[in-house]
Amino acid sequence: MVEKFDAIVIGAGPSGNAATYTLAKQGLNVLQLERGEYPGAKNVQGGIMYAAELEKIIPDFRDDCPTERHIIEQRIWLLGDDNYIGTNYRSEAFNTDAPNRYTIIRANIDKWFSEKIREAGGLQICETTVTELIRDASGKVIGVRTDREGGEIHADVVIMADGVNALLARRAGYQEELEPQNVALAVKEILFIDPQLIQQRFGLKGDEGVVIEIMGKVTKGMVGTAFLYTNKESLTIGIGCLISDFKHGSCPPYKMLEDLKNHPVIKPLIEGAEMKEYAAHMIPEGGYKAVPQLYGDGWMVVGDAAHFNNAAHREGSNLAMASGRMAAETVIELKQAGKAYTASNLSAYKKKLDDSFIMKDLRKYRNLPGIMHENKQFFGAYPDTITAAAHNWFTVDSVDKKTKEKEIMKSFVKKRSVFGLVGDAIKLVRAVR
Amino acid sequence: MSIMVKVEEKLYQNRYIVDENHPHIRIKSEAECKTCETQACTFCCPAACYSKNEAGTVTLATDGCLECGTCRVICQDKENIQWDYPRGGYGISYKFG
């Protein structure tokens, strides 16, 4: 006889864990399937974790959650060839009992979350790849097929939390294929280093942390960003660009990462660190317009698999956890009301998403991905012009300030023309309004 | 700035559980690769699993695969890559992620 559960969750990333935990906590008979050797084995994140969404699911998570550093300083840098210009925000007020943002090491968090799921009574099975959804004659999803022998498992509802590739939903015809301009490829390394050096180089004490978000010449004109984060005993450094740009460029991602590590501004920060892992991951960047169908008869999709990522604010795992929780709450509410998991009943999940920051934020920035993709000057012409302007402005010589202003204006107009500059400003304002 | 990068040295730090003789990605048609002007998989794959060969086609070695899916997205116009996840428990096993 085929085993049957109240719910099956596919994947043990932030969205799948949030869904499974929420269901288990309410006493539902839930099975979570993970293809990795252990929870986290297939997961990659920058990574910054925002506390608010995890706190909603596990209010006392700070008691034992293996976070790295709480972030007291955010830097945003525009890198030129041998320089940077940027903004920093640092505040003692971030040193609270309940910090809002932490750097994390993904695998540590996933292992911890899995223990919480087990404690709550959820069943998690690793080393099991789901190969397809099982549907009845009416098309309703009634279970999954796995690569284990006799690997058919049934459930009243299936939550797909299988990540950005979302193979199951695509194969079932629920989603179109990812378009290259709607997805970024990011590569990163973890570099281990004496914590004292981290404290010295970034001006930190205890578990204080700094994160640096980077734009500029390092992406070689491609639409992309880079980052450098401080962990307890390591640094993570990474860079990512749209796949449509990698496809038409000729710079392999690992070369781009190596050039970033050797950039004169970055190199002194990571000097002497030992690389222990190299990872790559796709990031859904298409925003609101790329969000697929989110539910149907007997199924829902959450997290990266649902394209929930706010590229403008570098938020992903919080959208993942929130969507996983909302999918689970939808299941719980329907079960309590004695209602079936039909598409029309599961539309309550979409309603929850629409009423939350997830769809509100994605909607706000709905035009940004297209504008960035079609206006490469934000990643090519501007970094050079801006850093050159700063260099001119901060070089004290006998040139009067009025002349310097004129020179700087001229350099911008030369690169983009007055119409170009005004047009770019309007585009940006429209995209983020 | 020009730096030679050996991606093998990066991949060497990673933990893999190799599923011998069960590659999870397959090039469907070598002839199709020959018609591909850019062969973008050979410079987009973050693990350099794809390389141009003397026959003018592309050679694929999946052992270092990071399972990101980039090649799948890149080759969708040609639809020349059969892409699955490895069997449960196999493939890249991130220690840190």
State residue A27 phi and psi, 5-degree precision.
Answer: 85, 10
List of chain A residues whose C-beta atoms are within 8 Å of the C-beta of residue B14: 277-279
B1 interface with A at CB cutoff 8 Å:
yes
Among the three residues A249, A284, A319, which one is the final residue of a domain in this structure?
A284
Tens digit of each residue's pLDDT (9 = 90 or more) over A116-175: 999 999 999 999 999 999 999 999 999 999 999 888 999 999 999 999 999 999 999 999
The mean pLDDT of chain B is: 94
Residues A11-50 as b/e (b if ≥16 CB within 10 A, e otherwise) read: bbbbbbbbbbbbbbbbebebbbbbbbbbbbbbbbbbbbbb
Using the predicted structure, report yes or no on whether residue A66 has a pLDDT greater than 90: yes
On whether residue A324 sits in a domain, the answer given is yes
The two structure tokens encoding residue B54: 């003397």
The two structure tokens encoding residue A429: 């304002």
Predicted confidence at residue A183, as pLDDT, reads 96
On whether residue A17 sits in a domain, the answer given is yes
Please tell me the pTM assigned to this model: 0.95
On whether residue A258 sits in a domain, the answer given is yes
- Which chain A residues in 31-50 lie under 8 Å from chain B, judged by CB atoms? 35-38, 40-45, 47
| pLDDT level of residue A299 (50, 70, 90 thresholds) | very high
- Check CB contact under 8 Å for B40 and A246: yes
Q: Which helix (H) or strand (E) holds A115?
A: helix A106-119
A279 and A202 part of one domain: yes
Predicted confidence at residue B46, as pLDDT, reads 98
Instruction: Give the residue numbers spanning the domain of A378.
Output: 369-432
Q: What is the mean pLDDT of residues A242-265?
A: 95
Predicted confidence at residue A430, as pLDDT, reads 77
A200 interface with B at CB cutoff 8 Å:
no
Tens digit of each residue's pLDDT (9 = 90 or more) over A311-335: 888 899 999 999 999 999 999 999 9
| pLDDT level of residue A1 (50, 70, 90 thresholds) | low
Rg of chain B on CA atoms, in Å: 14
Using the predicted structure, report yes or no on whether residue B78 has a pLDDT greater than 80: yes
**Contact (Cβ atoms closer than 8 angstroms) between residue A34 and residue A15:** no
Which residue in the set A106, A167, A251 is minimally distant from B97, CB to CB? A106
On whether residue A86 sits in a domain, the answer given is no
Using the predicted structure, report yes or no on whether residue B1 has a pLDDT greater than 60: no
Which of A221-230, A278-287, A354-363, A369-378 shows the lowest mean pLDDT across its residues?
Answer: A369-378
Q: Which helix (H) or strand (E) holds A101?
A: strand A101-103
A42 and A108 part of one domain: yes
Q: What is the C-alpha to C-alpha distance for residues A136 and A142, in angstroms, rounded to an integer? A: 7
On whether residue A58 sits in a domain, the answer given is yes
Tens digit of each residue's pLDDT (9 = 90 or more) over A9-22: 999 999 999 999 99
Q: Which residue segments constitute the domains of chain B, with CATH numbers given?
A: 22-92 (3.30.70.20)
**ipTM field:** 0.96
Tens digit of each residue's pLDDT (9 = 90 or more) over A35-64: 999 999 999 999 999 999 999 999 999 999
Report the share of chain A in percent with pLDDT over 70.
Answer: 100
- Check CB contact under 8 Å for B93 and A41: yes
Tens digit of each residue's pLDDT (9 = 90 or more) over B6-47: 899 999 999 999 999 999 999 999 999 999 999 999 999 999
Rounded to the nearest 10°, the torsion over CA B75, A190, A277, A44 is -50
A10 and A130 part of one domain: yes
- Check CB contact under 8 Å for B74 and A247: yes
A235 and A303 part of one domain: no
Report the share of chain A in percent with pLDDT over 90.
Answer: 83
The mean pLDDT of chain A is: 94
- Check CB contact under 8 Å for B93 and A38: yes
A151 interface with B at CB cutoff 8 Å:
no
Using the predicted structure, report yes or no on whether residue A202 has a pLDDT greater than 70: yes
A131 and A145 part of one domain: yes
On whether residue A311 sits in a domain, the answer given is yes
A376 and A229 part of one domain: no
CATH of the domain at A214: 3.30.9.90
A298 and A154 part of one domain: yes
- Which chain B residues in 26-85 lie under 8 Å from chain A, judged by CB atoms? 38, 40, 43-48, 66-70, 72-74, 76, 83-85
Q: What's the total number of domains in chain A?
A: 3
Using the predicted structure, report yes or no on whether residue B2 has a pLDDT greater than 60: no
A128 and A14 part of one domain: yes
Q: Find how far residue B77's CA is from the centre of its chain.
A: 17
Tens digit of each residue's pLDDT (9 = 90 or more) over A203-234: 999 999 999 999 999 999 999 999 999 999 99
